[in-house]
Copies of this chain bind each other. A is one copy, B any other.
């Protein structure tokens, strides 16, 4: 928005009707999110429409069946009937969340435009020769400073749920703290992160068979800490998983409530269950690790790893690294 003369609420609201559609950039979340590119005054703007959650208070839910408009029956069969309808417009039960980005640059458009998903198989060799050197670059340039600040107790100290120094084995220490996306109170959507202290495990690719006892004990400590802090959460209601590829290359485990709606972030091809990964490791020959196996996963076709590594590999004659 205009920084020289900050806008008031009303002015910001008057922007919306002025938006003129250029084209649809994306539709996702089962069609319930729509991202538009348009013109707003002289500049380009991105507008995101998203269906809101339905109300859950009895006062708002109770009148709904008798106040819907344009009710249309589509069919019925035995005890089942299905319909379409419009909820009555009101300030209490909005059906749309709108985000506006204005003025939007080409970089914003790229970020919000539909991204294709590629399935890639990263063999042991592709990892060693192509991906690992790329990851090494990602780890540089101070990008992990925020992790080290947490581990060293310089930031977010008050958020830490569990700080396990590892006792006689400092290599086995870890921290447990809330994920940024969790509101820190709604238990069915609980989302925590366990960050290990050691800095030599970049991702699950660096896990060795020899790490199984450590990680099994760490899992136990995480579950004990969470169920002690939140007694209404059962030990058998926690899902632990890692991402591959992860967003940042310092080994961490996601801890979520099993009731949390699983979306793309928990999908096979992205999320690897901790327990099944440990079972996989346990079955490998002594001395082996996940750097020795083929891993298949999904990548956005505008992600840097696709554009830097897998895209060029897929174009090569030998197709090394291509999902095909």
Contacts and interface: CB of A to CB of B under 8 A. Distances in A.
A94 B86 contact: yes
Interface string A257-296: 0110111101111011101100110111100100011111
Interface stretch (A67-75, A159-167, A174-182, A191-199): A67-75
A248 interface: no
Contacts of A234: 118, 324
Interface in A84-98: 84-91, 93-98
Nearest to A121: B275
A72 B99 contact: no
A57 to B, nearest CB: 10
A317 interface: no
Given A19-B65, A32-B32, A68-B16, A98 B76 contact: no
Contacts of A54: 27, 31-34, 49, 51
A103 B81 CA distance: 11
Interface residues of A, number: 116
B324 A236 contact: yes
Given A84-B94, A86-B90, A118 B13 contact: no
A119 interface: yes
A30 interface: yes
Interface of A: 1, 3, 7, 9, 12-13, 15-19, 21, 24, 27-34, 36, 38, 47, 49, 51-56, 58, 61-62, 64-66, 68-73, 76, 78-91, 93-104, 116-121, 223, 234-239, 241, 258-259, 261-264, 266-269, 271-273, 275-276, 279-280, 282-285, 288, 292-296, 298, 314, 322-324
